[in-house]
Structure 1
Amino acid sequence: MTKLSMVSESIIRHIESGGLREGDRLPSEAELATNHGVSVGTVQKALMQLVHSGLITREQGRGTFVSGTRVAPADVRYLRFRDADGNDLPSYVHARSVKRLKRKGPWSEFLTGEGFVRIDRVINVGGRFDLYSEFWLREEDFSELGGVDRAALERNLRELVAQRLSLPTQRVDQWIRFDVLPDIAARELKIESGQPGLIMELRGYTLRNRPLYYQLVYSGPFAERLVVLREHE
């Protein structure tokens, strides 16, 4: 391992363990250099890598801070909408159910493990139409969240995981396709079974590319002409 990687890995481990949380200030460059037995130049390069990844921020005259949950975009920002006049459409989240499941599928292939928890939610977009979301976590990760009430489930799930488990979403792979919706999605979206719709698949990774969550978002057909916004990570 290079000296540069050693410094980066040390900071990442402190974030993973909860030793450093959102808003915490890192030691100065000189202190980090002394603690790791490297040059200040090596520390500066390591910090710039972590800034680029979104894990930390640097503020002139104040220091270097952990970004924490700010790394994770809000749940619906991966697929947001504006109307024809350019107005952002607000999203309202309604939790439907939380289920512990053993059955296999694309979520288990990605997350790996034996048990999983699926959080089902319906997201209303500006009163115009609904999205149905299935959000999968490993059973052990969900258990470590502690008590999760309905209000928590109707907020940002990525931020909830980041805050309680110190596992920020570092990267998300996304796919969109047009296909026949599964029966459960059609039922929640109140459309006839067998109807086609938009299906969005998201795979979230935490530090060092560890699989963190698997999500499917479904939408039925709608006639309005809307602008789809995709935020860059």
Structure 2
Amino acid sequence: MPTPQQLMPGPTPLYHQLEQILRGEIERGVYRPGDRLPTEQELMQTYGVSRITVRQALNELEDEGLVVRRHGKGTYVAEKRIEQSLVRLTDFVEDMELAGLEPSSRVLAFQREAASPAVAAALGLREGEEVMRLDRLRLANGRPIAFDVTWLPMRFGVLLPEEELSRETIFHLLESRYGIPIEAGTFEITAANATSEQARLLEVSVGAALLLIRRLSCTGGNAPVYIQERYYRPDRVSYRLCLQRRGGGGSRPPTISELRPVFAETVSPPTEAEEDSRAGGSVERGEAQHLAEPAEG
């Protein structure tokens, strides 16, 4: 612990002085992302203040996103969030690399199955028509960040070499080898509760809230190439939407200047107790309709 600065009685509240001291130490790198701050008792003894003062200072830092409080474990410096643009269509590898994270994937299933009504409708197929299904666990810097399920019409699915799907994206494989570009897409962002299988893979509690991105990607002529459901750990990614107002003369409609995913590197997965302590840590059943059923095999 660094040599403490002295708190001075006066017009500036003691909790604010303590907050500024801790903020400065975080900004100077005395405490780095993922480091645990001194306990409340240690701060009380070091600075000669009450527990209420310490908690007020930590609350201020938490409200600003500089620290996270973990029930029963302490206060930790928040991980740095890295932004990237999503105005254009990007794939998982591009997202991670632009965010400064090392991407990798683990193929969990690659198999043929009959299209469900929802999948068939999205891909413009007949219900029960054969499609290719791909399940992957996505990792950033070696840690689970997302689980996704992808369905492709067979004319595209048979082009994908299974042995390369752990390191290559569908975008890159189809465009570089077969000249089939992904030219358009739609995103639906909603929420879901982790199933037992998703919880195991993503290292969260069963029922924990997940960020669900439902994505339809199309090639020329607006022909669907795949429909995908990606389940993100919400402690590792969020989305920020930036808007522009109308032009000065009011003639132009408002436009979206950017849609950014904000990724956060985490040091350790949250414990069950931590998940339980998060306010609003789950979503009510029925808020999200899912395309996926558990893959067999």
TM-score normalised by structure 1 residue count: 0.55
Task: Provide Cα deviations, 1:53-109, integer angstroms capped at 9, x if missing partner.
Answer: xxxxxxxxxxxxxxxxxx963334468885xxxxx2222222222021104043221
Partner of 1:204: 217
| Larger Rg computed on CA atoms | 2
In the TM superposition, residue 162 of structure 1 has moved relative to its aligned partner by: 2.1
Q: 1:103 to 1:127 in 2, by over 3 A?
A: same
Partner of 2:207: 194
Partner of 1:121: 136
Equivalent residue in structure 2 for 1:157, among 148, 152, 170 = 170
Structure 2 segments unaligned to the other structure (5+ residues) = 1-87, 241-258, 262-297
Q: Does 1:168 pair with 2:176?
A: no
In the TM superposition, residue 172 of structure 1 has moved relative to its aligned partner by: 1.5
Q: Does 1:133 pair with 2:148?
A: yes
Distance 1:81 1:73 in 2: 10
Q: Does 1:92 pair with 2:104?
A: yes
Matches within 5 A, 1:19-58: none
Distance 1:214 1:124 in 2: 20
The aligned amino acid for 1:138 is P
What SS does the aligned partner of 1:140 have? helix
Distance 2:194 2:232 in 1: 8
Partner of 1:178: 191
Q: Does 1:73 pair with 2:85?
A: no
The aligned amino acid for 2:106 is H
Distance 1:207 1:166 in 2: 11
Distance 2:230 2:93 in 1: 10
Q: Does 1:230 pair with 2:260?
A: yes
Partner of 1:101: 113
What SS does the aligned partner of 1:178 have? strand
Distance 2:184 2:104 in 1: 24
In the TM superposition, residue 201 of structure 1 has moved relative to its aligned partner by: 0.9
What SS does the aligned partner of 1:230 have? strand
CA contact (8 A) 1:81 1:226 kept: no
Structure 1 residue runs of 4 or more that deviate by more than 6 Å after TM superposition: 224-229
Distance 2:237 2:215 in 1: 24
How many pairs are equivalent?
153
Distance 1:215 1:221 in 2: 18
What SS does the aligned partner of 2:135 have? strand
Greater helix proportion:
1
Distance 2:157 2:214 in 1: 20
The aligned amino acid for 1:209 is N
CA contact (8 A) 2:174 2:181 kept: yes
The aligned amino acid for 1:112 is G
Q: 1:138 to 1:152 in 2, by over 3 A?
A: same
Distance 1:74 1:225 in 2: 15
What SS does the aligned partner of 1:161 have? helix
TM-score normalised by structure 2 residue count: 0.44
**Pairwise CA RMSD:** 3.0
Task: Provide Cα deviations, 1:170-227, integer angstroms capped at 9, x if missing partner.
Answer: 01111211221344433322333322211111110100111111111112343x6878
Distance 2:204 2:168 in 1: 26
Distance 1:226 1:141 in 2: 31
Q: 1:216 to 1:89 in 2, by over 3 A?
A: same
CA contact (8 A) 1:72 1:159 kept: no
Percent of matched pairs sharing the same residue: 20
